[in-house]
Amino acid sequence: MTISAERCRQILAAAQGTRVLVVGDMVVDEHIIGHSTRLSREAPVPVIERRGHLFVPGGAANPAYNARSLGSDVSVCGLVGDDEMGDRLRRILDEAGIHTAGLATEPSRPTSVKLRVWAGGAGQMHYQQVARVDVSNREPMSEQSQQELLLYLEGAIPEYGAVIISDYESGVVDAPILEYVLSSAERHGKRVIVDSHGGFARFQGVTAVTPNQPEAEAELGMSMDDDRALESGGNELRARLGCTHLLITLGGNGLALFSRDEPMKRVAAHSVPGLVDATGAGDTVASAFTLSLLGNADPVEAAEIANAAGAAVVSRLGASTTRPEEVAAMLEAAGD
């Protein structure tokens, strides 16, 4: 660990109020939380007695929520349906102080929802995810919605310091939207950070791409199961994409940073006691890396802050956010 907690505080303080635009697939993460002490008589499944019911921003709304929690001025650009979940997501984002003028409503398209059911037992048993039900539409967006988003982006991109593209392959990051974002960002000198579930070849020449290890392996068609393979594969993927930085998250093994003309930098994982739920951790990493760059961090400092931010959220159930002081505290604990 090379960055101190104090340096982390300085960087994230410098990032306060910086402007970030998040473009991508908006999702509501719904969580039903309960206790289970018996199996159903009708089928070999647990009977869940509901104790809690949560709705939090998911998909591209999650990096926006994280960037806002870390102190940025954030806007979102994407689609919601003309339905209860779309209204709910707008309210959640509005209440967090995230600008939603870039959300287009497409009546024929349901708002994407990922419902997770969590169950815990008696005593000290940790909660575990026992079921997930998704509502999604992967069809192309309507021409009207596309034009509405393009019109919004035309006015928005020049006003923001960085653009996060969050692609969950649900139709928003299509060819015309992506082409416009990349060309406009280049024209106006804006950083572009990409958090995508695949198809990385589309994102040529961006500031950073932040896949997890399975996504990077799928793109390369090879396993990266040791340091030599990781370094070789990471360097190849970064060169193939022409991006300035490639940040591969490695789950419980931390992350690896690949930068142009620099050797691979490994950042070790932080110790996280108790529950570990990686839902949305990659979104947190992308947001923290972006804000750190806007706060004048060098790439290694930004990677270490992003790694600590990701560790801070995996100890909470479902997609979560962190704040600057929590990130600094993770680094402080690691230095003890």
What pTM was computed for the model?
0.92
pLDDT in tens, 300-330: 999 999 999 988 887 665 556 788 999 999 8
**Numbers of helices and strands, H then E, in the chain:** 10, 13
Termini Cα distance of the chain: 11
Q: How far is CA 30 from CA 15, 82, 114, 267, in A?
A: 30, 18, 6, 32
**Residue of 134, 283, 298, 336 with catalytic role:** 283
Q: Which residues of the chain have pLDDT under 50?
A: none
Q: What is the pLDDT of residue 330?
A: 87
Buried b (16+ CB within 10 A) or exposed e, 283-303: bbbbbbbbbbbbbebebebbb
Q: Is 73 in the active site?
A: no
Q: What is the pLDDT of residue 206?
A: 98
